[in-house]
Amino acid sequence: MPTEPKKDSQKAPQGWRMDPIPSRPAYRDDGGNIRVPMWLTKNGRHMADTEMVLLPSEAALLADNLTNAMRDSSRSMLHELFRESATALSPGVVYVSKSEQYQV
């Protein structure tokens, strides 16, 4: 059932939008496809619950693109936090040298 758009000071983006449903995880169906439950909205108004259906190769490509996008943002943040004394080995894995960590 459609809902009314928000009327607060924060305007919803205009046009169609798909957002993952946080309470429903992605899963693999009997055919081997990856299914991601999604909310479909138009001009900030909920229109339907649906699923994005991806082949395994498409899901892998999406995961790689998201990882690369997040890595680019987090890498600059890590450099700022550790003043370049840390090395990002992979997404979520940071190496901080003990000799640099305890310099006075």
Cα 76 to Cα 104: distance, rounded to the nearest angstrom: 24
Digit-by-digit pLDDT tens for the chain (104 residues) are: 566 655 655 666 689 999 999 999 999 999 999 999 999 999 889 999 999 999 999 999 988 888 887 776 555 555 555 555 556 565 556 666 665 444 44
How confident is the model at residue 99, as a pLDDT? 57
How confident is the model at residue 100, as a pLDDT? 47
Domain ranges of the chain: 16-101
- Name the burial class of residue 3, with classes exposed (0-12), middle (13-18) and buried (19+) by CB atoms within 10 angstroms of its CB: exposed
SS3 84: coil
Length, in residues, of the chain: 104
Other CB atoms closer than 10 Å to residue 37's CB: what's the count?
16
How confident is the model at residue 102, as a pLDDT? 46
Whether the CB-CB separation of 7 and 45 falls below 8 Å is answered with no
| E-only strand ranges, 1-104 | 16-20, 27-28, 34-42, 45-54, 86-90, 93-96
